[in-house]
Structure 1
């Protein structure tokens, strides 16, 4: 059964490396550029009913995770370290929002080219998981 795809727009946030710490070799100031997103058109929707994927990681310790996954189809190929957010419907309304009303942000977890019968890439299937700690 094919998923019904809805027209929408989404912001892509690029990951930006900060300056490298010469002592540790780490990049402590690295973050996503939320101030300069790339707005792209997309279609897609939830992989499952919103907030329906639950995992009990260590039942003996009471660990619990609730994951929300979405899939988008877009002509732009995001990188796996990008984030997606501010996903809006055709009317400009935010589709995925946190309890406080802010737009939900997702990590890109997979990018798969979709090709036509001639082998030409027509768009990219982008699978995203909700960021556990929202920015």
Structure 2
């Protein structure tokens, strides 16, 4: 039974991702609150999931065209709504989401965090919905 659980867990999280924590400070010269993410000390997590395509929410046609890619991941820990996620990799270590210009990994802002519950009411993992960050790195 233990081997079955280990095999299921290995299959469940076929990706890895990095979580970047947000830090705020107030600029002493302007008084503005500035957000910075700690890219030097990421939290690495196992993950599963991929891009999602909720109809009529990715493309907006109007005065300005917008195409917003969303990413849904299942991870074993909760994240804050202020965090960013990046460097989503497969088991071979390849980054799955890259910017078109260059080889930099796409950054995603956390849009929602939802606990996934089993039949006994225990939290088994978290569904994290993210949206591509408008300003990359």
Question: Which interval holds the TM-score relative to the shorter structure?
Answer: 0.7 to 0.9
Gap runs ≥5 in structure 1: none
The equivalent residue for 1:112 is 114
Moved over 3 A (4+): 19-24
Structure 1 position 55 matched with structure 2 position 60: yes
- Contact residue 13 and residue 46 of structure 2 kept, 8 A: no
Structure 1 position 127 matched with structure 2 position 132: no
The equivalent residue for 1:93 is 94
- Contact residue 21 and residue 27 of structure 1 kept, 8 A: no
Distance 1:81 1:94 in 2: 23
The equivalent residue for 1:39 is 44
1:22, CA displacement in angstroms? Answer: 8.1
- Contact residue 53 and residue 70 of structure 2 kept, 8 A: yes
The equivalent residue for 1:69 is 70
The equivalent residue for 1:27 is 33
How many residues are treated as equivalent by the alignment? Answer: 123
1:18, CA displacement in angstroms? Answer: 2.0
Gap runs ≥5 in structure 2: 1-11
Q: TM-score, normalised by structure 2?
A: 0.82
Q: TM-score, normalised by structure 1?
A: 0.83
